[in-house]
């Protein structure tokens, strides 16, 4: 327990530091982007110069997206809690990925048989699914299959590897699995640490899973990972089912008022 709270403190202070830097850096990047656009506009008769400036613009965009990730990680963005239908969420993320992920990867979405609602920030649920799916893609350079699944799971309170631990009960569960390269036990033990990455310099921030962990923990949920080298990886996320999930959601679907009203 002590070890876990030390880790939480370390994550928090790293997060605060990163958030402060990201905020100031973002403003500087906006200035660079503005002036670059201005000069691109002024050099219409110099395609060679414009080509060079296009590289500057691309680099600025990459840096901006990195700082945006840092800000989200440190809760720089305001979160808004709503009822989020997980079936709709996996369908939307599936649609986004289908357009962007490349033909070498097969994408499968498996919704829960009945509507499944959690009380969370819809943007954060999307972000969790996207971060996990992008890692899954990165683990399958030669192609493979990603499955996004929503279902209901009952825990007896004794599950292994749950971070943080969850009391026994029935939860909404999101699964993201891949048939990729998998990871070693040493890697698996560190993946939720901020800035931990095994990706080449410049391509990984090590913030994707720290962000996922932060969102899940703050939503009173839990996450675990099963991974086998050369076989693949499955992340499971457990979130409390919203109180409205079983009653209201069904009433809305049928369009009739609840009985006994
Ligand atoms: P990044 O993707 O920038 O490296 P993450 O926090 O998202 O940062 O992931 C940390 C590390 O966890 C990755 O560098 C990789 O080693 C490992 N990892 C995450 N997801 C997977 C996966 N689906 N398969 C194999 N390894 C993974």
Could you tell me the mean pLDDT of each successive run of 10 residues in the chain, 261 residues long? 59 67 83 93 94 91 78 65 94 89 93 94 90 95 97 84 86 97 96 90 83 88 95 97 60 38 36
- CA of 191 from ligand 1 middle (Å) equals 6
Query: Which residue ranges have their beta carbon within 6 Å of ligand 1?
Result: 131, 135-136, 139, 178, 180-183, 187, 191, 196-199, 204-210, 233
Nearest CA to ligand 1 atom 25: 182
Atom of ligand 1 nearest to the CA of 208: 7
| Confidence (pLDDT) at 52 | 94
| Cβ atoms within 10 Å of 200's Cβ, excluding its own | 7
- CA of 26 from ligand 1 middle (Å) equals 25
- CA of 168 from ligand 1 middle (Å) equals 29
- CA of 198 from ligand 1 middle (Å) equals 7
Pairwise CA distance, residues 191 & 41, whole Å: 44
**Helix segments in 74-118, DSSP class H:** 86-100
| Backbone dihedral angles phi then psi of residue 127, each to the nearest 5 degrees | -65, -40
| Confidence (pLDDT) at 7 | 61
| Confidence (pLDDT) at 6 | 65
- CA of 180 from ligand 1 middle (Å) equals 11
| Confidence (pLDDT) at 249 | 40
pTM, entire model: 0.74
Nearest CA to ligand 1 atom 12: 191
Look up the ipTM and state it.
0.98
Please report the sign of the dihedral spanned by the C-alpha atoms of residue 117, residue 170, residue 129, residue 18: positive
Please report the sign of the dihedral spanned by the C-alpha atoms of residue 103, residue 209, residue 147, residue 225: positive
């Amino acid at each position: 327990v002590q070890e876990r709270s030390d880790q939480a403190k370390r994550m928090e202070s790293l997060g605060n530091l990163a958030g402060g830097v990201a905020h100031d850096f973002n403003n500087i990047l906006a200035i660079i982007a503005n002036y670059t656009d201005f000069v691109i506009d002024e050099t219409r008769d110099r395609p060679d110069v414009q080509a060079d400036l296009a590289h500057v613009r691309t680099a600025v965009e990459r840096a901006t997206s990195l700082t945006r990730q840092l800000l989200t990680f440190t809760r720089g963005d305001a979160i808004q809690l709503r009822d989020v239908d997980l079936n709709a969420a996996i369908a939307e993320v599936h649609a986004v990925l289908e357009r962007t992920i490349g033909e070498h990867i097969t994408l499968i979405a498996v919704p829960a048989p009945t509507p499944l609602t959690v009380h969370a920030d819809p943007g954060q649920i999307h972000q969790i699914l996207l971060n996990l799916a992008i890692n899954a893609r990165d683990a399958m350079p030669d192609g493979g299959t990603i499955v996004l699944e929503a279902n209901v799971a009952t825990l007896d309170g004794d599950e292994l590897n749950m971070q943080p631990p969850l009391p026994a009960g029935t939860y909404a569960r999101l699964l993201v699995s891949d048939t990729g390269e998998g990871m070693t036990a040493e890697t698996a033990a560190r993946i939720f640490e901020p800035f931990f990455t095994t990706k080449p310099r410049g391509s990984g921030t090590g913030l994707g899973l720290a962000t996922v962990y932060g969102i899940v923990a703050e939503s009173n949920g839990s996450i675990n990972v099963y991974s086998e080298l050369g076989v693949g990886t499955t992340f499971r996320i457990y979130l409390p089912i919203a109180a409205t999930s079983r009653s209201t959601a069904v009433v809305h679907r049928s369009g009739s008022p609840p009985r006994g009203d």
